[in-house]
Amino acid sequence: MGENIVGDKPETQMKPLGDSGILVQFGTEISPDVHEEVKAFTDCIEANSFPGFIECVPAFTSVTIFYSPLLVFQMYKGQGKPEDLSPYSIVQSILQERLKSLHTSKRREKRVVDIPVCYGGELGPDLEAVAKYHQLTPAEVIDIHSQAEYLVYMIGFAPGFPYLGGMSEQIATPRHSSPRLSIPAGSVGIAGMQTGVYPISTPGGWQIIGRTPINLFYPDKNPPTLLTSGDIVRFKPISIEDYKEYKETVL
């Protein structure tokens, strides 16, 4: 099946993803405006789901809707729908209607989350390299990184890992050519124009400039992540003494 233009906006496209998913693409540019469309559509579907719906997975410029083809077909056949309609066609029609009624002109109030970070030293082994790459001092890198407000575009890569937009080009730095085998949980890194926080210990190639003492992933809670798509993150510099005190308090 080919791509289908849906909704009132010509840049919004819909296409199948395997036999149990539909990808809804809201353009190709990563921007706050496109993110608003993604977030609004995700909220709309989750609040007004349909028989056979499994989950929504939002990304930078798209939302993937997963569904059960068998349940979709059984439910809608029972409602007198034409039997020659495929589950994909049924779900596509539902999503088209959701898109037509979608309104994103009213901006949602965003949750702001402050994340303390101890920059440099053994907790931020790449801070000096990032500063040197841009002919800045480490203090200037810290100031630039901590003065911005970052939009959580999506959660991915690892449980609770936030992909953040809004970092200054002044400190945009390529990731390492060879990833480290293990990045400690809480590490704050830079990769190109993005910054993020490792919620768990995992291999990675981002430039690590600091570490936060707070947890971003809680497997026993619901939801299990501190951050969610649409949140605003602000990094707050703290001393190594404050970092250790916080860790001791938590433990």
pLDDT at 1: 39
Summarised one tens digit per residue, pLDDT across range 46-55 is: 888 999 999 9
Question: pLDDT per position in the chain (251 positions), as tens?
Answer: 344 434 444 468 999 999 999 999 988 888 888 888 888 899 889 888 999 999 998 888 899 999 999 998 887 776 656 666 788 988 998 998 888 877 654 556 789 999 999 999 999 999 999 999 999 999 999 999 999 999 999 888 788 899 998 999 999 999 999 999 999 999 999 999 999 999 999 999 999 999 999 999 988 888 889 998 889 999 999 999 999 999 888 65
- Residues 81, 202: contact at Cβ < 8 Å? no
- Residues 65, 42: contact at Cβ < 8 Å? no
Q: What's the burial of 190, exposed, middle or buried (CB within 10 Å: 0-12/13-18/19+)?
A: buried
* Rounded Cα gap, residues 239 and 118, in angstroms: 6
* Rounded Cα gap, residues 160 and 185, in angstroms: 11
pTM, to two decimals: 0.73
Give the start-to-end residue ranges of the domains of the chain: 4-100, 112-250
* Rounded Cα gap, residues 91 and 24, in angstroms: 12
What Rg do the C-alpha atoms of the chain give, in angstroms? 21
pLDDT at 231: 93
What value, to the nearest 5°, has the Cα angle with vertex 36 and ends 32 and 41?
150
Cβ atoms within 10 A of the Cβ of 172, count?
16
Residue 73 tokens read as 């077909």
* Rounded Cα gap, residues 225 and 151, in angstroms: 16
Does 3.40.710.10 match the CATH number of domain 4-100?
no
Report domain 112-250's class.
mainly beta
* Rounded Cα gap, residues 88 and 17, in angstroms: 10
